[in-house]
Amino acid sequence: MTTEFFGPLPSGEGIDAWTLGNAAGSSVKILTLGGIVASLRVPDRRGELADVVLGFNTLREYLSGHMYFGALCGRIAGRVPEGELRVEGRRYSLPLNNGRNHLHGGFVGLDRRVWRATAAPSVEGAESLRLTYHSPDGEEGYPGSLDIAVTYTFTADNCLTLETEATSDQVTPLSLTQHSYFNLGGEGSGSIADHELQIHSDVFVPLNAAMTLGGVAESVAGKGNDFRNSRRIGDALPGLFRSHGDLYLLGTAGFRKVARVIDRGSGRTLEVSTDESCLQFYSAVDLDRTLVGKSGRAYGPHAGFCLECEGYAGGGNRPEFGDILVRPGRPQRRKTTYAFGR
């Protein structure tokens, strides 16, 4: 494990980059700004390494764009319509930073906060980085003083694990997600249309015209967003609402495999496992070539894909979709893994 200075914030506070590696030469680089996964290098079928996450080379670029590349998003990942949050009968108004929606924690969500980083004890030779952040009562409109710890672990067999723990002095919602944009062909290699995707869910929650969740679960059977069997993403895009992607309900059966992606060109695979109750597939349709990535190539529509493991954004009011509330004396713990193969 190594650390280096990545750059200063306008306030003068420094941002560090921590790199976790393994004996095979694979590595992940994580920033103390927003817990951003800035680089993730894994081998293809020939053993050649490539960076498979979208992102930037400089801190300035991360601060000027706001596509959440590689970041930890919250307190609530996803869109809260009208910013109206209800917690145990009390109403809170969250700032609207996405039209009439509160998106990914607000104007200065956890993706824009500076996290404290320390090396965590290694487990079976794997390197771990622990990030902590204290979110005070009222930050971005949320109730409760919240302490969050996120541990990233990178194993010898190229598995990136994300474990979170949170405590609060009041009942408050927390639904973190890891918002990396993946391209198994390599960052900047073009569209992910030829990637093949499988999602182990038969139920989703449709979006409405404002891109918020309608609150009603529907079967994927007979619809264009049915990924129960592996499908080429490019073939599925015309059948997705605005070519965007949907939120799939996973149930509450504990830690299990929820998605798999194959890039036959490179031979790389990605298998996602989680104990979260929802999975948001996003096709990166909103990338419009105005952002230039690490390789010097502009990111166009579908230059990557996201598989965001999270809770339901309205979970405080819809416990049947998964409970996202943190209660005093009852720490919230979650785990997600991104396992790369070839």
Name the band, by pLDDT with cuts 50, 70 and 90, for residue 185.
very high
Q: How many CB atoms lie within 10 A of CB 168?
A: 25
Q: Please tell me the predicted confidence (pLDDT) of residue 133.
A: 98
Kindly state the average pLDDT of the residues 35-49. Answer: 98
Contacts of 223-232 with C-beta under 8 Å, sequence gap 24+, read: 227/197, 227/198, 227/199, 227/259, 227/281, 228/198, 228/199, 228/200, 228/201, 228/202, 229/198, 230/196, 230/197, 230/198, 230/260, 230/262, 231/196, 231/197, 231/198, 232/193, 232/194, 232/195, 232/196
Q: Please tell me the predicted confidence (pLDDT) of residue 124.
A: 76
Name the band, by pLDDT with cuts 50, 70 and 90, for residue 125.
confident
Kindly state the average pLDDT of the residues 197-218. Answer: 94
Contact (Cβ atoms closer than 8 angstroms) between residue 288 and residue 332: no
Query: Which percentage of the chain shows pLDDT scores above 70?
Result: 99
Instruction: Examine the residue annotation and report whether 308 is marked as an active-site residue of this protein.
Output: yes
Question: 280 has which bridge partners?
Answer: 247, 308
Kindly state the average pLDDT of the residues 92-120. Answer: 96
Q: Please tell me the predicted confidence (pLDDT) of residue 258.
A: 98
Contact (Cβ atoms closer than 8 angstroms) between residue 303 and residue 183: yes
Q: Which DSSP string corresponds to 273-308? A: EESSSEEEEE--TT--S-SB-TTS-B--TTS-BEEE
Q: Count how many residues are written for the chain.
A: 342
Give phi and psi for 242, each to the nearest 5: 55, 25
Name the band, by pLDDT with cuts 50, 70 and 90, for residue 139.
very high
Kindly state the average pLDDT of the residues 163-187. Answer: 98
| Residue 296 CB-half CA count within 13 A | 0
The CATH classification of domain 2-341, taken from the options 3.30.1370.60, 2.70.98.10, 3.10.129.10, 3.50.50.60 = 2.70.98.10
Q: How far, in Å, CA of 324 to CA of 173, rounded? A: 5
- Tokens representing 229 are 């069997």
> For 272-331, what is each residue's pLDDT tens digit?
999 999 999 999 999 999 999 999 999 999 999 999 999 999 866 677 888 999 999 999
Residues 127, 187, 196, 308: which is the catalytic one?
308
Q: Please tell me the predicted confidence (pLDDT) of residue 214.
A: 87
> For 105-115, what is each residue's pLDDT tens digit?
999 999 999 99
Kindly state the average pLDDT of the residues 137-141. Answer: 98
Q: How far, in Å, CA of 43 to CA of 63, rounded? A: 30
Q: Please tell me the predicted confidence (pLDDT) of residue 314.
A: 81
Q: What is the CA radius of gyration of the chain?
A: 19
Give phi and psi for 203, each to the nearest 5: -135, 140
Name the band, by pLDDT with cuts 50, 70 and 90, for residue 167.
very high
Kindly state the average pLDDT of the residues 12-27. Answer: 96
> For 258-284, what is each residue's pLDDT tens digit?
999 999 999 999 999 999 999 999 999
Q: How far, in Å, CA of 142 to CA of 289, rounded? A: 34
- Tokens representing 28 are 């992940």
Full-model pTM: 0.97
Kindly state the average pLDDT of the residues 153-168. Answer: 97
CA angle 84, 89, 90 (to 5 degrees): 55
Residues 179, 195, 302, 310: which is the catalytic one?
179
Instruction: Examine the residue annotation and report whether 124 is marked as an active-site residue of this protein.
Output: no
Kindly state the average pLDDT of the residues 127-138. Answer: 97
